Amino acid sequence: MAVKWWHRLKIYQVYPKSFKDSNQDGAGDIEGIINKIDYFEKLGINMIWLNPIYMSPQIDNGYDVADYYRIDPSFGTMADVERLLSEAHAHGIKVIFDFVVNHTSDQHPWFQEAITDLNSPYRDFYVFKAGKENGTLPPNNWQSFFGGSTWEKEPNGDLYYFHLFDKHMPDLNWANPDVRYEMTKIAKFWLAKGLDGFRVDAFIHIDKTAGYPDLDYLAPGEIGIAEEHYSNKPRVNQYMKEWRDAIREDYPDAFVIGEASSAHPGLANWYCDPDYGGCDAVITFRYFFERGEMKDHRLDWGFQEGEWDIEGFKHAMVEWQNAMAENGGPVLYLSNHDMARALTRFGTTNTANRSQCAKMLGAAMYLQKGIPLIYYGEEIGMQNLQFDSISDFPAADVHSFVARSHELGYADWKIISNLNQTHKLAARGLMQWTDEAPNVGFTSANQSTWIKANAENGFNVADQLKEEESIFYFYQKLLDLKKENLFLYGYWELVASETETYVYERRWDNERAFVLCNLSGQNKDVYVEVSPSWEIVIENDNNTVKNGKVSLAPYGVIVLKNR
Cβ neighbourhood burial of 242 (10 Å; 0-12, 13-18, 19+) = middle
Give the list of residues 6+ apart from residue 373 with CB closer than 8 angstroms, or none. Answer: 11, 12, 13, 49, 283, 331, 332, 333, 336
Give the list of residues 6+ apart from residue 391 with CB closer than 8 angstroms, or none. Answer: none
Per-position b or e across 249-287, b if 16+ CB within 10 A of its CB: eebeebbbbbbbbebebebbbbbbeeeebbbbbbbbebb
Evaluated on CA atoms 76, 81, 87, 93, the torsion sign reads positive
Looking at residue 430, what DSSP letter applies? P
E-only strand ranges, 36-80: 47-50, 54-55, 67-71
Amino acid present at 519: L
| Radius of gyration, alpha carbons of the chain | 24
User: Of residues 72, 106, 171, 259, which has the active-site annotation?
Assistant: 259
Give the list of residues 6+ apart from residue 123 with CB closer than 8 angstroms, or none. Answer: 114
Give me the phi and psi of 430, to 5 degrees please. Answer: -60, 140
User: Of residues 80, 196, 201, 539, which has the active-site annotation?
Assistant: 201
Looking at residue 172, what DSSP letter applies? B
Instruction: State the greatest distance between any 2 C-alpha atoms of the chain, in Å, as a whole number.
Output: 80
The answer to whether 425 and 384 are in contact (CB under 8 A) is: no
241-248 contacts at long range (C-beta below 8 A, 24 or more positions apart): 241/276, 241/277, 241/278, 242/180, 242/278, 243/101, 243/180, 243/183, 243/184, 243/187, 243/278, 244/278, 244/279, 246/184, 247/184, 247/187, 247/188, 247/191
- Known catalytic membership, residue 201: yes
- Known catalytic membership, residue 311: no
Upper half-sphere CA count for residue 318 (Cβ side, 13 Å): 12
Residues with catalytic roles: 201, 259
